Amino acid sequence: MGKMAVGIKVVDKEGKTPTLGQAALREIVGKTISAIILYIGFLMIAWDKQKQGLHDKIAETYIVSTK
């Protein structure tokens, strides 16, 4: 998961590119769970101190600015 057009990228807790397992966990499992529970997993980003959604917490990933 490299850079995106909006100036952000996904990293692991050490600031490195997530492994394939982490990416799959975040994108498939985490986002499915986030959506199933009435999208609360995505809404968590609004009030979480580290701005993580449930899918990020599950995969231990973070969104960082590339700018």
Note whether residue 34 is domain-resident: yes
pLDDT reported for residue 38: 94
Number of domains in the chain: 1
> Does residue 59 contact residue 22 with C-beta atoms inside 8 Å?
yes
Note whether residue 1 is domain-resident: no
Note whether residue 3 is domain-resident: no
pLDDT reported for residue 67: 83
Q: Containing domain of residue 32, as a range? A: 8-65
Q: What is the pTM of this model?
A: 0.84
pLDDT reported for residue 45: 95
pLDDT reported for residue 4: 57
Residue 53 scores a pLDDT above 90: yes
Note whether residue 29 is domain-resident: yes
Note whether residue 18 is domain-resident: yes
CA dihedral 50→55→57→60, nearest 10 degrees, is: -100
Note whether residue 39 is domain-resident: yes
Stretch 28-45: mean pLDDT: 95
